[in-house]
Amino acid sequence: MTEVSTLNQGKEQPIKASEIDPTFKYELEKIPGAEKILLCFQCGTCTSDCPIARFSDNYRPRTLIHMAQLGLKDRVLNSATLWLCSACFTCTDRCPQNVEVDSIIRVFRNLAVKKGYIPQGLCNQAQSLLETGYVAKVPESRIRKRENYGLPPLPQGNAEAIKKILRGISFFDSLQTLPKGDNKNDP
């Protein structure tokens, strides 16, 4: 099992030469969505306009991109803050270099999942989606409360249709690698 790191992205940490993968940025350039990563000149506009960065001391999209440019592959993919992005596209709209920041974050996440780095909470949601068709299991108490109020039953989630859609891509393979149990590093 691989756990998501508690790495505080905002804190400066010494970089060891052994951590650097100089090929990472070239690997990223070939992945759809991350092609423009080397155009980033670290102006910081994405971070200053990011609504998540406004409320988090740790989440900095500019820093994630810089770390990737430096080749700090494992730090980027193992960062718990990676999962805080809400995909609102503000960064992409404002970037003077037309870097598709939100797409790059998506690429980071996909690579992270392949390595088994994913917060347990999101893993639970994925498993619930496959089992019930809902990202969160509806508790029995909620169902009983609806009955007491005379509300109609909730529609059944179509888990089979979702599985059909996801079959054929590597989603199920990725799910096998996801961590089980409590992960204290959930964002």
Shortest separation between residue 147's beta carbon and ligand SF4, angstroms = 39
Task: Please tell me whether residue 44 binds ligand SF4 under the rule CB under 6 A.
Answer: yes
Record the tokens describing residue 16, joined without a space: 């060891």
Q: Kindly tell me which of 50 and 111 has the beta carbon lying closer to ligand SF4.
A: 50
55 binds ligand SF4, rule: CB under 6 A:
no
Q: Does 69 participate in binding ligand SF4 (rule CB under 6 A)?
A: no
Candidates 4, 46, 72, 122; binder of ligand SF4 (CB under 6 A) is: 46
- By beta-carbon proximity to ligand SF4, the closer residue of 83 and 117 is 83
Among 4, 28, 77, 95, binds ligand SF4 (CB under 6 A): 95
Q: Determine, following the binding rule CB under 6 A, whether residue 80 of this chain makes contact with ligand SF4.
A: no
Task: Say how far apart CA 58 and CA 67 lie, in whole Å.
Answer: 14
The whole-angstrom distance between residue 11's C-alpha and the CA centroid of its chain comes to 20
Of 1 and 88, which has the nearer Cβ to ligand SF4?
Answer: 88
Residue 81 makes contact with ligand SF4 by CB under 6 A: no
Stretch that binds ligand SF4, among 4-12, 27-35, 90-98, 172-180 (CB under 6 A): 90-98
Residue numbers at the binding site for ligand SF4 (CB under 6 A): 40-46, 50-52, 61-62, 65, 85-91, 95-97, 99, 101-102, 105
